[in-house]
Structure formats: structure tokens, C-alpha cells
Amino acid sequence: MKFQNVRALEPTKLRTLGGAAIVHRANTRFSVKQVSDRCFLPGTPLSRIPVWWAPGEPDNANNGEDCLLMLPSGTLADVNCTRVYPYVCYRKKKKNMPALNACGTVDNDYNLDSRTNSCYKFHTTPLIWTRAFVACAREGGYLAIINSELEHQLIRDLYNKSYSSIISGNYNRGAIHLGYKSFEHLSLWMTIHGQTLKEAGFEEWSEGQPNHHDGDQDYVTLLKDDGLLDDTGPNNLLPFICEKDPSSLLAAEDFS
Ligand SMILES: [Ca+2]
Ligand SMILES: [Ca+2]
């Protein structure tokens, strides 16, 4: 999805981007503001933006519609802010914008490994699994998934190389989060992309694992000591590795 200035977009153009735009209404006046924790739009009165309302809109149905949505027709309607829709982010083009690297991002902590043609970033600040999952997604990546013995070794090497950089604190530095979790009450361990571990290409558990310790271990880590998998709980703060497809974000021409 391209970063564009929503204010400058005709409905047809915005529609072409494949998303809906949600803006926020403060009291009775609409203005374009922060629309999610990923999109930030400057406060702009809607009166200064070309608006094409859908028939009968805005109707503030049930006195509970404080957000705006663009419909497939390109017209706007007010909706409840808890509704879930695709969205469009924009970023103003500036002079001297950083160049995209080989991983298709301006984040130079991502490094392309030609052996797997994937990019990897080691996060030295620990998070719980769900927060780590989101952190990777925000960067256009995903919690690392091991797809081969080669990638297993590569990820172990990155872990060992980065170990001394991990932020010190009262948590376990002896494991990192990976992109696997349990489904169907532990009867099925799958990657966040919907494959079984076997289908993904690596399913070597550490001895005695997964043990579902204390009945609450739904997430998968890689142990530093033996380099094998262990199930862990939802509140376990750990470093983690994000993996990224080099083509998963914008192409260079998208900035031109
Ligand atoms: Ca992988
Ligand atoms: Ca365990």
C-alpha cells in the first residue's frame, strides 16, 4: 500500500489504493486526526477537505458513529469506531528521504541473507509474544519462522551474535520468540502463517518440550542453550527476531 496524502486524493484514487479511510469526529465536528496507532494524520477540519457523502450520511446512527469511512463508491459515511476495516496510511514526501535498503525498508537493522533470501532483525528489547508479533508486523515483517536447517543455523548465529546487545533486565535472555503458537488448545502447533511446524520445515523441540508448563504455554521460543524449541507463557518477556520478505514493503519507485 502506498503512502499518499489523503487530503489530495480524489475518491476514485483512494478507492484504487484498495482501502477505506477512517477519520475521527470530535463532538459534532469532523477532523482528520490519528486514525490508528499506525496512521497519523494532522488535525484538519473536514470543511477544508473535499467530501462526498453517501446518501443519508452522516446520520450518527444510535448516536454512536464517531468515525468516517470511505465506501466503495468513494463517498463517506459515519460509522462506529469499533468497526474493523482496511485503512490507508500516508506519509508526506520529504527531501532527502532515506533510501530503501535491500530489505525494502529504511530500517537498516534488517539485513538480507542471500542464503534464504529473507531479511532478519534482532530486537534487543524484550516483549511478550503478542507485542513482539505486533512489533514485527509494524515493520512489514513477522516473527521469524524457521523453514530449513540452514535457516535454523542462521537464526542461532544471529542470536549468539546479538546476545551481548540484549537489554539487561529482570527477564530471561536464554530464549527468543518465534512465529509459532498453539491452536485448538495445544493439539496443534502452527506458524503464524498457518503451517504446521513440519510443513514450515523445522519442528525440533527441546527435550521434554512442549510441556505446557503450568497449563499456560501457548507460544514458542527458541532456546539459546540447545537451539531447539520450547513452549512458553503469554507473559514471558523475551528478545525476538523479525523476519521480512525483501519485497513485502514498498518498491523504490513508490517513493518517486
Ligand atoms: Ca523463514
Ligand atoms: Ca515449555
What are the 10-residue block averages of pLDDT along the chain, 256 residues in total?
A: 37 39 46 43 65 89 85 88 79 78 93 97 97 94 97 98 93 95 81 95 96 87 97 95 85 44
pTM, entire model: 0.66
Residues whose CB falls within 8 Å of the CB of residue 199, separated by 6 or more in sequence, listed in order: none
Handedness of CA 14, 15, 19, 20 (dihedral sign): positive
| Gap from CA of 121 to ligand 2 centroid (Å) | 25
Please, are residues 33 and 54 in contact by the beta-carbon 8 Å criterion? no
Write down the pLDDT at residue 184: 67
For residue 93, what pLDDT is reported?
A: 74
CA of 243 from ligand 1 middle (Å) equals: 7
CA atoms within 13 A of residue 142's CA, in its CB half-sphere: 12
Counting ligands in written order, the one closest to the CA of 146 is 1
Q: How far is the CA of 144 from the centre of ligand 2 (A)?
A: 19
Same fold, 6-79 and 111-244: yes
Q: How far apart are CA 45 and CA 135, in angstroms?
A: 32
Biggest distance spanned by C-alpha atoms of the chain = 64
Measured in Å, residue 229 CA sits from the centre of ligand 2 at 9
pLDDT value of residue 90: 67
Are the C-beta atoms of residues 190 and 178 closer than 8 Å to each other?
Answer: no
Predicted pLDDT at 240: 98
> Contact 1/19 with Cβ under 8 angstroms?
yes
Domain spanning 111-244: CATH 3.10.100.10 = yes
- Where do we find the cell 446512527? 61
DSSP code at position 198 = H
Q: How far apart are CA 48 and CA 192, in angstroms?
A: 42
Contact 60, 112 (CB under 8 A): no
Domain ranges (residues) in the chain: 6-79, 111-244
Architecture in CATH of 6-79: Roll (3.10)
Helix (H) or strand (E) holding 230: strand 229-232
Residue 250 near residue 2 (C-beta atoms within 8 A): yes
Closest by alpha carbon to 33, among 20, 45, 42? 42
Instruction: Round the CA-based radius of gyration of the chain to a whole number and report it.
Output: 22
Q: Are 63 and 13 in contact (CB under 8 A)?
A: no
119 Cα: distance to centroid of ligand 1 (angstroms): 9
